[in-house]
Amino acid sequence: MPFELSERSRAEIESLIARYPTKKSCLLLALRVVERQQGWVSLDGMALVAAMLGLSPAEVYGVVTFYPHYKREVHGKYRLMVCGTLTCALLGMKRLVRHIEERLGVACGGARTADGLFSLEKVECIAACGGAPAIQINDQYHENVTPQKLDDLIAACRREHAAGGGPPMPPGPVRDEPARVAHFLPALGLGRVAPVGV
Amino acid sequence: MAMATTFQPFLTRNFGEPLALDVRWCLERGAYEGARKALAMPPKAVIEEVKLSGLRGRGGAGFPCGMKWSFVPQDTGKPVYVVCNADESEPGTFKDRALIDRDPHQLLAGIIIACWAVQAHTAFIYIRGEMVHGHAVLEKAVADAERAGVLGDTVLGAAFPLRVLLMRGAGAYICGEETGLLTSLEGNRGYPRLKPPFPAVVGAFGCPTVVNNVETLGNLPHIMVNGARWHASMGTEKSPGAKVFSLSGHVKRPGNYEVPLGTPLMDLLDGPGGGVGGTGRLKAVIPGGSSAPILTAEDCKTAKLDYESIAQHGSMLGSGAVIVLDDSVCMVDAIWNLMRFYHHESGGQCTPCREGTGWVEKTVARIEHGRGRMRDLDVLLETCDNMQGKTICVLADAAAMPLRSYLKKFRAEFEAHITQGKCPFG
Ligand SMILES: Cc1cc2nc3c(=O)[nH]c(=O)nc-3n(C[C@H](O)[C@H](O)[C@H](O)COP(=O)(O)O)c2cc1C
Ligand code: FES
């Protein structure tokens, strides 16, 4: 079923258009509206935003793929983002990454767990160096993280999921993304269109 | 220590106070008095006051704030914008996140002052995408301020309409560079633009724009209340005022500490920082974020935390992110980590940066893994030559500068990796 913007999402994007200097300047925030409603930013979502802002889908796709923070289909319901930059690296980041890889059976920067619950990636300094090593799980910061604390956090995610809570579950990689992109982006083929985020 | 007894922190004074999120409490405590005072003065007089205070930008470059404002033309017939740079992503830096999360009204008061000074009726706060909490704090603060008559059609009773719009980034370091930020703000990939024209003349949406860091703006209410002289009396002659330093790495008590500029580096480390952590033996310090050239333990003995002293020691104060390295740290491994960062974060627009950061990352990785050749050290320096000063923005320089300094000050470690065919640190 193709994704549709809800009334609330549409109204929010309309209100951005009314307040920001140009339609295009609403793009980064409009994508966040899609991300909140859908749980990730899909190709359909990009096309809908493009239509509302009077942009080409190609332009929107080009923007989304520049910014690694948007959640996409490939990410897990719980996106584990371990800071890999210097201070965290000095204070135990590698141990955390290994621990998650072993616990969840995933590779850092690779595919998510088979149940779709978790994906693991290294990110760059998240401005939490005073609490290194630091990670983010979706929107939440966790500082001074230890393997023990990680186990607790992972268990908490599982409990939330089992209780029917948490954000929507992304569907996994879009198998025909290149073909679909080529279809709605005739002019593409330039720039960085590498897989996003991971 | 002398500084602890005489200096009263002001930027961070509300850090332990949850009520600082309440606009009523802030109004009662005078958080907006500086803005009120500014609004009663001619804009030019506000610019003069800030010039006189000597306040320098806290985002990294240390450019005099009042002077930047004075470049804004008032006769273009176009709107003027103020943009608060809250993209904080220079590795090691975590002060702006704290300033936003814990005292958003201090920032809004600063924004009002900047907007009045350059006659801007719209301000943007560009906050990095990861700071979801900070964004929510700001959304609430702006809404509360509008309801309280602090922002909106009138500002604190003055007939000066002002709205503050928020923008969220999405995980790109390059959007902290002011022109990359502006391109991103307009809804594009965050590609920096050539300067000149400088943003003050042609900035957001082709209009004159002031870009200021969160901490720079946070200083303004205090300068307006206490006067330029008060500000200039702190710190050193050329680096007046106080600054929030983000202390991290091998230090016993990491955290944000506000001290007067000119404070000896070791006083910060041994005082509030509680001394060197890890092995307890200091090897090196990065004094101003990952782009800052490295200081050896010897350099640290005489370095003071002001723009001039750190420059005399061959580095820069930058964002005020002080990263402490103990003697267990392999300097090749450390710079490899940073070169990986710059390669990942290169916007990809300019070949010397996109390719250069990739090359140096690979070469340093090879050395770290014991497969380097002596020739590589010269190749690294040559690559730095080909990166520096040859690109649209200075991200390439920000990568090359620290690399050069590690090669210069810790060359023996690079050579040991090569001759031993492995990392001596295991
Ligand atoms: C690669 C790069 C990244 C930067 N990142 C930031 C940042 O995250 N936050 C910031 O305030 N300034 C950053 N700057 C500095 C800005 O370009 C600009 O100088 C600053 O926001 C101006 O504000 P100020 O004068 O108040 O310091 C960066 C500069 C470069 C070259
Ligand atoms: S280095 Fe990890 S949060 Fe800054």
Q: Report how far apart, in Å, the C-alpha atoms of A115 and of each of A70, A111, A119, A140, A151 are.
A: 21, 11, 10, 22, 18
- Using a 6 Å CB cutoff, which residues line ligand 2? A 83, 85-88, 125-126, 128-129, 132, 134; B 91
pLDDT at B79: 98
Could you tell me what percent of chain B has a pLDDT over 90? 98
Residue B30 sits at the chain A interface (C-beta within 8 Å): no
User: For ligand 1, atom 20, which residue shows the shortest CA distance?
Assistant: B59
Domain contains B109 = yes
pLDDT of residue A191: 38
**CATH 3.40.30.10 region(s) of chain A?**
78-162
Residue nearest to atom 22 of ligand 1 (CA): B212
Give the pLDDT band of residue A178 (cuts 50, 70, 90). confident
Beta strands in B128-169 (DSSP E): 163-168
Query: Are B205 and B246 within one domain?
Result: no
Q: Is residue B426 part of a domain?
A: no
Tell which atom from ligand 2 comes closest to the C-alpha of A132: 2
In terms of domains, do B101 and B212 share one?
yes
Average pLDDT over residues B85-99: 98
Statement: the pTM of the whole predicted model exceeds 0.90: yes
Q: What is the CATH number of the domain that holds B260?
A: 3.10.20.600
Helix (H, G, I), strand (E, B) or coil at B286: strand
Separation of CA B199 and ligand 1 centre (Å) = 13
Is A27 touching B (CB cutoff 8 A)? yes
Number of domains in chain B: 3
| B205-240 per-position pLDDT tens digit | 999 999 999 999 999 999 999 999 999 999 999 999
Which residue of chain B has the CA closest to A21?
B205
Average pLDDT of B60-67? Answer: 97
Would you state the CATH architecture of domain A7-72+176-188?
Answer: Orthogonal Bundle (1.10)
What residues have CB less than 8 Å from A183, skipping those under 6 apart? Answer: none
Nearest to A72 by CA among A134, A124, A121, A25: A121
The tens digit of pLDDT for each residue in B18-55 reads: 999 999 999 999 999 999 999 999 999 999 999 999 99
Whether B250 is in a domain gets the answer yes
For residue B259, pLDDT over 70 is answered with: yes
Distance (Å) from CA A153 to ligand 1 centroid: 34
- Domain span at residue B257 reads 242-326
pLDDT, mean of residues A44-72 = 96
CATH of A78-162, one of 3.40.30.10, 3.30.450.20, 3.30.1330.30, 2.60.200.20: 3.40.30.10
The identity of residue A50, as a single letter, is A
CB contact under 8 A, A66 and B165: no
pLDDT at B196: 96
Q: Could you tell me if B130 and B224 lie in one domain?
A: yes
Nearest to B348 among A68, A87, A192 (CB): A192
Say whether both B317 and B335 belong to one domain: no
Of ligand 1's atoms, which has the minimum distance to the CA of residue B93? 8
Residues in chain B within 8 Å Cβ distance of A22: 186-187, 205
Q: Does B152 touch chain A (CB under 8 A)?
A: no
User: Per residue in B273-289, pLDDT tens?
Assistant: 999 999 999 999 999 99
Q: Which of A94, A129, A136, A145 to mutate to test the pocket of ligand 2 (most atoms within 8 A of CB)?
A: A129
How large is the average pLDDT for residues A20-32? Answer: 98
What pLDDT shows up at residue A184? 66
Would you state the pLDDT for residue A188?
A: 44
Q: Is B171 on the interface with A (CB under 8 A)?
A: yes
Contact present, B425 and B328 (Cβ < 8 Å): yes
Confidence of residue A192 (pLDDT cuts 50, 70, 90): very low
Do B178 and B137 share a structural domain?
Answer: yes
Q: Which residues of A touch B89 (CB under 8 A)?
A: 124-125, 127
Distance separating the N- and C-terminal Cα atoms of chain A: 26
Distance (angstroms) between ligand 2 centre and the Cα of B409 equals 24
Instruction: Report CB contact under 8 Å: B94, A29.
Output: no
Same domain assignment for residues B396 and B300: no
Residue A185 has pLDDT above 60, yes or no: no
Q: Is residue A165 predicted with pLDDT exceeding 60? A: yes
pLDDT, tens digit, for every residue of B303-356? 999 999 999 999 999 999 999 999 999 999 999 999 999 999 999 999 999 999
Instruction: Determine the distance from the C-alpha atom of residue A38 to the mean position of all C-alpha atoms in its chain, rounded to a whole number.
Output: 11
Within 8 A of B96 by CB-CB distance, chain A residues are 127
Does residue A39 register a pLDDT over 90?
yes
- What was the pLDDT predicted at B1? 42
- How far apart are the C-alpha atoms of B88 and B103, rounded to whole Å? 16
Mutate to test the pocket of ligand 1, among B65, B167, B195, B211 (most ligand atoms within 8 A of CB): B211
Task: Give the model's pLDDT for residue B2.
Answer: 42
Quick one: average pLDDT of B88-101?
98
Yes or no, beta carbons of B337 and A67 under 8 Å apart? no
Same domain, yes or no, for B358 and B317?
A: no
Q: What is the CATH number of the domain that holds B104?
A: 3.40.50.11540
Q: Please state the atom number of ligand 1 nearest to the C-alpha of residue B181.
A: 17
CA distances from B10 to A185, B104, B269 (A): 53, 14, 20
CATH number of the domain encompassing residue B380? 1.20.1440.230
The ligand placed nearest to the CA atom of residue B353 is: 1
Q: Is residue B11 part of a domain?
A: no
Q: Provide, rounded to the nearest whole percent, the portion of chain A with pLDDT above 70.
A: 91
Q: Which of B169, B188, B205 sits opposite A21 (nearest CB)?
A: B205
Q: Ligand 2 centroid vs A107 CA: distance in angstroms?
A: 21
The number of C-alpha atoms within 13 Å of B354 and in the hemisphere containing its C-beta is 9
Question: Which run of H or of E encompasses A122?
Answer: strand A118-123
Q: Which of B261, B272, B265, B253 is CA-nearest to residue B297? A: B265
| B317 and B337 co-located in one domain | no
CB contact set of B176 (below 8 Å; sequence gap of 6+): B59, B85, B87, B88, B89, B90, B128
Q: What is the pLDDT of residue A198?
A: 39
Question: Which pLDDT tens digit goes with each residue over B136-192?
Answer: 999 999 999 999 999 999 999 999 999 999 999 999 999 999 999 999 999 999 999
Q: What percent of chain B has pLDDT over 70?
A: 99
CA-A126 nearest atom, ligand 2: 3
Q: Which atom of ligand 1 is nearest to the CA of B60?
A: 15
pLDDT at residue A181, rounded to an integer? 76
List chain A residues with CB under 8 Å of B186. 22, 24-25
Nearest to A62 by CA among B358, B177, B184, B124: B184
